[in-house]
Amino acid sequence: MKTSQVTAAIIVSMVFFSFPFKKQVQASKPFQNVKDYSLYYGAPTEKAIIQLKTKDLIIIEPQLFSKLQIQDIQTTGTMVIGYISVMETPAWNTLRVKELLSSDYLLKQGERIHFKQWDSYLMDLRQSHYRQLLLSEIKTSISDKGLDGMFLDTVGDIDDWIQDAATQTQTREAYRSFLQDVSGQYPKLSIIQNRGFDTLDYALPYIDGLLWEDWRANWKEDLWMKTRVDRLRKEQKKGLTIFSIHLNKESSPGREARKLKFLHIDAPDGYTKEVN
């Protein structure tokens, strides 16, 4: 999982029409009873399922789990959220890869952008064909299996990897269009976004939570973090749930997060260990 970041009339129009829906989504507060959670992208072993059932909320790779396994986990009241990578397509996701068109890839100087560490490619969310693939994946891997919601990963790539201002704005608008389609087709599914702080304005009408992956304890001394914490605290008051996760060994990241009423976990060993 990655850490990472048209006209005025159209923008104003889209914000105006989505604002009532924003109040409806965040007023529902689907995560208000969540006290602990876990990210687990490993296999659904018997031991893992036993541990997952002790959590209030879990984020899993849904392609690895059967519908019956998900139902079993939900019997204890655990909310099951399915992972989906929005801005990248990893090589392991063969169900998506085999349906991609060459135009679905975002190019830089005519070449595809490959992330070697993850063996994934940056995608062009502006392409309607690619957005439809994501919607189909949500149907088969999340909705049809009866999950409670989805975790939208790699949204931060819009902030971090798209340098051209026009392309970045167009991609953010395409992301908003995608969220509109998701919310319209699957209104009962909760949505958590990973990072993408500078794209947040486009997403707020439709998401229920935001995960701050790679949270750090020294946020008060870091102007970039402090600015974003101040922003998120305002959205918390409107009903947005903030999750945080710490990936490295550092003193007191959880204590600082909990002071801010973030739902926090530490995962120094990654997301495949049974269980964070």
pLDDT per position as a tens digit, 138-190: 999 999 999 999 999 999 999 999 999 999 999 999 999 999 999 999 999 99
Looking at the predicted structure, is the pLDDT value of residue 4 above 50? no
> Are 189 and 149 spatial neighbours (Cβ–Cβ below 8 Å)?
yes
Six token digits for residue 232: 């998120």
Rounded distance between C-alpha atoms, residue 229 and residue 25, angstroms: 21
Give 247's pLDDT tier (boundaries 50, 70, 90).
confident
Looking at the predicted structure, is the pLDDT value of residue 79 above 80? yes
Give 253's pLDDT tier (boundaries 50, 70, 90).
confident
CATH number of 8-266: 3.20.20.70
Six token digits for residue 93: 């996701």
Buried b (16+ CB within 10 A) or exposed e, 136-160: ebbeebbbebebbbbbbbbbbbbbb
* 99: CB partners within 8 A, 6+ apart: 133, 136
Residue 120, beta-bridge partner list: 90, 115
Q: Which residue has better confidence, 227 or 270?
A: 227
Residue 114, beta-bridge partner list: 121
Neighbours of 7 (CB within 10 A): 7
Q: Which residue has better confidence, 22 or 233?
A: 233
Helix and strand numbers, DSSP H then E, in the chain = 10, 13
The whole-number pLDDT of residue 108 equals: 93
